[in-house]
Structures are given as structure tokens and as C-alpha cells.
Amino acid sequence: MGKVNEMQVIFLNVNDNKAPEKLNIKDDLQSYYNLLECNTIDIVRRKIGKRYFHIICDDEGMLVEGPKISAISNLGEIRLVGNLVICSDMVTESGDLVGLSDEEAEYIRKRIEFLYTRQYPQGYYILTQCEY
């Protein structure tokens, strides 16, 4: 079994209404399950603003009752739900994810806004400018 690498990510915890955090986490399934509070994950590649990133999300997030929106497009369309772990668009030669640079983390943070919705009038942090 190989060494598990650590990587810097942005963690968006919409389930607990927390501000986005820059974390160093292990690049392994258990870390993702714990942060996302789920049993199955998906790793998607999405454009945030003008740059691409890998986003780890709950693969079954839309199947729960009342999924909480975590990412929207420029037009306010729902892109992702539930907690998110955002890392670099790069991967290693062996296909492992790569952590964010400090500059990339700041770029993402600038696109996370505190928004209010009809279902959550108290507001919470949502990733904006997220496109396919």
C-alpha cells in the first residue's frame, strides 16, 4: 500500500452553515467520506470563474430529501449540492488529485458568496460561477 499524500483544499461545509475553510487533508476516501458526510463520492471537473478545478462531492446528494445547494452557475442554476471539497485541476502521473496552491485557494474563496434562499432565509456560503 502506497503513501497517502496530504493536499491543501477548500472545504465548503453547507450542511453546518460554516464559512469556507482552507484545510490540509489526506488524499483518501475516508477523509472525503468524513468531510462530505456521505457513503459515495463523485469527483467532477468544473469551471469556477474562468479556471477549472476538481470538486469532490456526494454522489447521491440529489437523492436526499431537501438537498442543500452548494454551487450555482452565473445564472443561478443549481450545479452541486451538499458539502464540497475543492482541489486543483491537476493530477499526478498516477492519477492522484493535487492540492491547491495558496493563489488557487484565494481565487476560489473570492467566488464563494454568502447568499440567502427562500428555503434558507438565514443565508449560508455558496460557490458561485460554477459551470460545466
pLDDT of residue 107: 99
Q: Report yes or no on 85 lying in a domain.
A: yes
Number of domain units in the chain: 1
Q: Report yes or no on 31 lying in a domain.
A: yes
Query: In terms of Cα–Cα distance, which of 108, 114, 118, 110 is closest to 17?
Result: 114
Q: What is the mean pLDDT of each run of 10 residues along the chain (132 residues)?
A: 80 97 96 96 98 97 90 96 98 94 98 94 97 94
Q: Report yes or no on 1 lying in a domain.
A: no
Q: Which domain holds residue 124?
A: 6-131
Strand, helix or coil for residue 54:
strand
pLDDT of residue 65: 86
pLDDT of residue 131: 97
Strand partners, 78: 72
The cell for 26 is 489526506
Q: Report yes or no on 51 lying in a domain.
A: yes
